[in-house]
Amino acid sequence: MAVATTRLTMNTREWAILGLLSVIWGGSFFFNGIAVKGLPPLVIVWLRVALAALALHLVLRALGQRLPRDRRIWGAFLVMGLFNNMVPFSLLVWGQTHIAGGLASILNATTPLFTVVVAHVWTSDDRMTGGRVAGILAGVAGVAAMIGPTALGGLGSDLLAELACLGAALSYGISGNFGRRFGRMGVSPLHTAAGQVTASATLLLPIVLLVDRPWALAMPGIGVWIAVAGLALLSTAFAYLLFFRLLATAGASNLSLVTFLVPVSAILLGTLFLGEHLEPRHFAGMALIGLAAIDGRPARALKNLFTARSG
Report the predicted TM-score, pTM, of the whole model to 2 decimal places: 0.74
- The pLDDT assigned to 123 comes to 63
- The pLDDT assigned to 237 comes to 92
How high does pLDDT run on average in the chain? 77
Cα 116 to Cα 139, 178, 201, 203: the distances in Å are 14, 13, 28, 27
The span from the CA of 291 to the CA of 260, in Å, is 8
- The pLDDT assigned to 109 comes to 73
Enter the DSSP assignment of 274: S
- The pLDDT assigned to 165 comes to 82
The span from the CA of 308 to the CA of 164, in Å, is 49
Type of residue at 264: V
Enter the DSSP assignment of 125: S
Q: For the segment 270-304, what is each residue's pLDDT rounded down to a tens digit?
A: 666 656 565 666 556 555 555 444 555 555 554 55
| CA distance between the termini of the chain | 44
- The pLDDT assigned to 206 comes to 93
Say whether 237 sits in a helix, a strand or coil: helix
- The pLDDT assigned to 142 comes to 65
The span from the CA of 192 to the CA of 183, in Å, is 9
Burial of 234 (0-12, 13-18, 19+ CB in 10 A): middle
Under-70 pLDDT residues of the chain: 1-9, 29, 96, 100-106, 122-157, 260, 263-311
The span from the CA of 290 to the CA of 259, in Å, is 13
With contact defined as beta carbons under 8 Å apart, do 25 and 159 qualify? no
Nearest C-alpha neighbor of 49 from the set 12, 93, 82: 82
Burial of 12 (0-12, 13-18, 19+ CB in 10 A): exposed
The span from the CA of 11 to the CA of 247, in Å, is 13
